[in-house]
Amino acid sequence: MTAPLLAVQTEDGIARFMRIRRQTLALCAGLSPEDLLVQSMPDASPGKWHLAHTTWFFEQFVLGHDPAYRSPNPAWYYLFNSYYESVGPMHARPQRGLISRPTLEQIRDYRSRIDEAVGELIVQGIDATLAARIELGLQHEQQHQELLLTDIKHAFWCNPLHPVYRDAPAVVAERKPLSMRFLPGREGPVDIGHPAGNGFAYDNETPRHRTWLPAHALANRLVTNGEYLAFIREGGYREASLWLSDGWATVQREGWQRPLYWQEDLSSEFTLAGVRALEPQAPVCHLSYFEADAFARWAGARLPTEAEWEDAAANVSMTGNFQEDHRFHPTITPHGDGLQQMYGDVWEWTASAYVSYPGFKTLPGALGEYNGKFMNGQWVLRGGSCATPRDHIRASYRNFFPPHARWQFAGIRLGQDR
């Protein structure tokens, strides 16, 4: 083996590869083959497809890096390619739920075979390019773990039986809520973006660059269910002046009156642990950008920009409620000084459009399609959620979704000018 260039080339790196791959299967424990085949909407994918697509990623970009590699199932490339136009055609995304063959058992076998082959490759010795591709494959796997959870949540919500994914203790407040306070952020020139040579980052987090922050403040905690309920009760969904034009059109067209998984009685919500009483002190989630923006306007505030968020988050400990906590639901804000729940619980919508940083360059080749081509019509979210693996998040991480998307664990932190 050549000298280790990335963590994945070390003994620990191999263990990490296997741990992350196994974790995806662990998230599927208790789900039936039928659960894993269902596709509840074009934006969501079946669990089985996630299991296969993440495996295809390693086959295509790691094993396939060797020109002599021949896949035993070349037809599966078409089924499990997501959006990489430069490596070949792909099955239509809205029809992923129709892929009953290969069977779930064949997909599990596919995962084992590819894991074994990639593991052998790591042991034999890999160069920096391959090490970087394996690392990207693992980060990609972790992104799909979160999608697997949000997609099965949507599928179970669509089922009138409202099945339970994993039982978990109900979130119940035991003391008065932490009052919302606005904490001043830095004003003036700051650097944001991932510092080169400081571990893994996606291309869209680079290059680190200078930007200017206006006088501003960020709320010390997330917006709660109780606060969002007040917005609803005061007619938030009926007042056009609170909404962006596209947001108001979406409210009208979709008949939105409350967050995605709230029940009509406004006192309970669907969670991955089934229908639960709405806890007023827990952070509100499953909101679109449009709803987050309208709420902020109603509250006399605004959403933070991603630069304001990142500059503040860089000095906050990366603790929080993540996938490893097995709650799969946001928890009540802990009492404390400073910014609370910056990481975990819910992704925080920002006021920043998802565009390239100055000097941005995509990765070379097909992997340049990973992020860059989505830089239009979407908004940046920060901080990770209760479905994000703990070692997947960082201050510079830029998640992005279209402004109408509601099925992710997305919520609100308010910001304001000073």
Tell me which residues touch Fe ion (CB under 5 A): 82
Secondary structure element (H or E) that encloses residue 291, with its range = helix 289-298
Q: What is the DSSP string of 288-343?
A: -HHHHHHHHHHTT-BPPPHHHHHHHHTTS---S--GGGT--S--PPPP-SS----S
Cβ atoms within 10 Å, residue 244:
14
Report the residue number whose CB is nearest to Fe ion: 82
Q: How far is the CB of 204 from Fe ion (least distance, A)?
A: 14
Q: Which is nearer to Fe ion, 82 or 139 (CB)?
A: 82
Q: Which is nearer to Fe ion, 369 or 391 (CB)?
A: 369
Q: How far is the CB of 17 from Fe ion (least distance, A)?
A: 17
Measure CA 79 to chain center: 23
Residue 331 in contact with residue 345, Cβ under 8 Å? yes
Q: How far is the CB of 140 from Fe ion (least distance, A)?
A: 6
Measure the CA–CA gap between 399 and 402, rounded to whole angstroms. 11
Q: Which is nearer to Fe ion, 96 or 327 (CB)?
A: 96
Q: Which is nearer to Fe ion, 216 or 398 (CB)?
A: 398
Residue 228 in contact with residue 261, Cβ under 8 Å? no
Q: How far is the CB of 325 from Fe ion (least distance, A)?
A: 24
Rounded CA Rg of the chain: 22
Q: Which is nearer to Fe ion, 71 or 82 (CB)?
A: 82
**Tokens found for residue 33:** 């083959």
Q: Which is nearer to Fe ion, 243 or 370 (CB)?
A: 370
Q: How far is the CB of 95 from Fe ion (least distance, A)?
A: 17
Pairing of strands 399-401, 379-382: antiparallel
Q: How far is the CB of 128 from Fe ion (least distance, A)?
A: 23
Measure CA 71 to chain center: 30
Q: How far is the CB of 172 from Fe ion (least distance, A)?
A: 37
| Residue 90 to residues 62, 73, 75, 94, 96, Cα–Cα distance (Å) | 19, 15, 10, 12, 11
Q: Which is nearer to Fe ion, 57 or 357 (CB)?
A: 57
